[in-house]
Chains A and B, each alone.
Chain A
Amino acid sequence: MHSFGYRANALLTFAITILALMCAIASVSDNFNSPSPTSQVQVLNINWFQKKPDGDDEVSLTLNISANLESLFTWNTKQVFVFLAAEYETPKNMLNQVSLWDGIIPSKEHAKFWIHTTNKYRFIDQGSNLRGKDFNLTLHWHVMPKTGKMFSDKIVMSGYRLPQLYR
């Protein structure tokens, strides 16, 4: 009954149960954090704006992004993935989400940042709908935990209207 194998099995089961419980508690503890991140984005310049040979509109922007995401970090946070997306509606599409810039924040010390950048991913429409188009700039973040459930949220910021003419 109380052989070596039996005891080893009991010990292993107990250890794994405790470890799983601790992971669960760490994940649940994230819920007690109520973050209040802030962010601001400015479109500084339209570098160029054209219709590609295949008929889709493409625009290149210079952006100024500043954000304070320090409050997202808890003891169970491995990193925060943050990205800025342009979101707009076209006659054909209910929703277009185009990521313009993204970054990985590895620790709380880097969570308050300011960056001046052109769009990292190409801002291409499916079609030719960007002239005079209003779009929302939305800052999204995804909190990746050390263990457990992932969280995500966003701030919808002031919109921007593209010019009527290509340039």
Chain B
Amino acid sequence: MGWIEDGISSIRSFQLRQALHQAVTLGMIVASALMIWKMLICVTGSESPVVVVLSGSMEPGFQRGDILFLNMGRDPIRAGEIVVYNVDKREIPIVHRVIKVHERKDTGEVDILTKGDNNDDDDISLYAPGQFWLKRHHIMGRAVGFLPYVGWATIIMTEKPVIKYILIGALGFLAITSKD
């Protein structure tokens, strides 16, 4: 039965066990990050609980690269709140402030008009052609918390994908080569 022992020792020399261990650890990190994200979605009721500010239309309150924490909740939307909305046929969500609200008596449906603090005009020109009001289903969440600068990492990685790949490569390399 010497060949079994030989085989085992050769596998040992490949350090299969350590490689597996590292793969599992990496998987755990990815899985827990996903779990935290999904849990945040459940708790806040918003489909994207954390957003990065991409434009300067809310300056000086929010600058490019700031991070906003969103919450949807069941509370009705009121004037003055900062909401993140998604217009049909537009990819990028917009963070602006509600300036007008009309809430129906019978259905509870709302008509919402928004405007960026730093813009001169309201957002009707940003909405879909022929759309004058936002409805509840356009709103992804309302901003409840704020963290400056942190979002720059995301902006840089989105605009310069090379940096993203280098970073992922370096982390992967570290994960594979590091010993415990």
Contacts and interface: CB of A to CB of B under 8 A. Distances in A.
Size class of the A contact interface (CB-based, 8 Å): 20 to 34
Contact of B61 (A5, A78, A99, A121): A78
A140 B80 contact: yes
Contact of B145 (A93, A102, A150): A150
B96 interface: no
Interface in A19-54: 23, 27
Interface string B19-30: 000000000000
Nearest to A27: B145
A102 B100 CA distance: 12
Contacts of A1: 180
Interface string B88-122: 00000000010111111100100100000100001
A146 interface: yes
Contact of A92 (B104, B108, B144, B147): B104
Given A81-B61, A83-B80, A106-B60, A23 B147 contact: yes
Contact of A102 (B78, B99, B104, B144): B99
Interface in A57-116: 78-79, 81, 83, 85, 91-99, 102, 104, 106
A140 B79 contact: yes
A99 B79 contact: yes
Interface string A125-149: 0100000000000001010111111
B102 A126 contact: yes
A91 B79 CA distance: 20
B143 interface: yes
Nearest to B104: A93
B100 A98 contact: yes
Given A99-B79, A144-B61, A148-B145, A121 B102 contact: no
A152 interface: yes
Interface in B108-163: 108, 111, 117, 122, 143-148
B108 to A, nearest CB: 8
B166 interface: no
Given A81-B61, A81-B80, A140-B79, A147 B105 contact: no
B178 interface: yes
Given A93-B105, A140-B79, A149-B145, A81 B100 contact: no
Interface of B: 60-62, 78-82, 97, 99-105, 108, 111, 117, 122, 143-148, 174, 178, 180
16 contacts: A23-B147, A78-B60, A81-B61, A81-B97, A92-B105, A94-B104, A97-B79, A97-B100, A97-B101, A98-B79, A99-B79, A126-B102, A140-B79, A144-B62, A148-B147, A152-B81
